[in-house]
Amino acid sequence: MGAAAMKISGCVVVMILAHTALLGSLMAAAAAAAAATASIDLSTAVLISVDQSGKGDFKKIQDAIDSVPPNNSQLYFILVKPGTYREKVVVPADKPFITLSGTQPSKTIITWSDGGDIFQSPTLSVLASDFVGRYLTIQNTYGSGDKAVALRVSGDRAAFYGCRILSYQDTLLDDTGSHYYRNCYVEGATDFICGNAASLFERCHLHSISKNNGSITAQHRDSLTQNSGFTFLDCKITGIGSAYLGRPWGDYSRVVFALSTCPVR
């Protein structure tokens, strides 16, 4: 493995070079999540609506999730109508097969402000398997000074489409499992994509708001036997100051950037 530094759009980044076999291994693991969620038949789903105006089944997202029976085997599609939902949301481990969907990420916003503990601060925590998030903004407005996770993903076979994930430090805790992110926007300053999942980010936009060498990724693989890592495929990377593509959080951290762009000044 080698490294080369260059200045890109006002960012100093470390280009991580990896073997083709490594790239293929990570993509295969993460693509399993995409395949699993893509095969779901939405026509058989139980539809639940959330609307702050009272015209839906529930006014709060957490109440809608709580209504799903434990250990369910049927798909539940929770449609969140436009609005700013100020609540901390948890999808428990015993509630798989939930799809949480807005209509446009700019109009459907889940927001909270909490910092400190990386596992307790998230605005949205997904602990269940077979979860899909679509067209949502998920943000933690705590700001700088401590860990402030917007989204924690700890279940297996999770996928996110067209979501905006916003915070400052540890924005996306991509914790464990196989995950897929497509056409998502992730913003932060310090270690803002972190964790030990096996994840594929495809056609995503990563935006660093660091002004002084913050890291975009902090991957947490700490054993040779762990089949985890982050793969960024056909992604766009931008920033307002100096930043690094990543730093190791574990002894065997691995991150691959392939066919991705950082426009050169």
Give long-range contacts, CB 8 A cutoff, 24+ apart: 64-72.
65/89, 65/90, 65/91, 65/92, 65/95, 65/98, 65/100, 68/95, 68/98, 70/94, 70/95, 71/95, 72/96, 72/97
Answer whether 12's CB lies under 8 Å from 213's CB.
yes
Buried residues in 241-254 as b, exposed as e (16+ CB within 10 A): bbbbbbbbbeeebb
Answer whether 131's CB lies under 8 Å from 154's CB.
no
Rounded to whole angstroms, the Cα distance separating 112 from 109 reads 10
Chain-centre distance for alpha carbon 81: 21
Residue numbers annotated as active site: 170, 191
Full DSSP string of 94-159: T--SEEEE-S-TTTEEEEE---S-TTT--SEEE-SSS-EEES-EEEE---SSS---SEEE-SSSEE
Pick the closest to residue 186 from 202, 170, 164 (CA basis).
Answer: 164
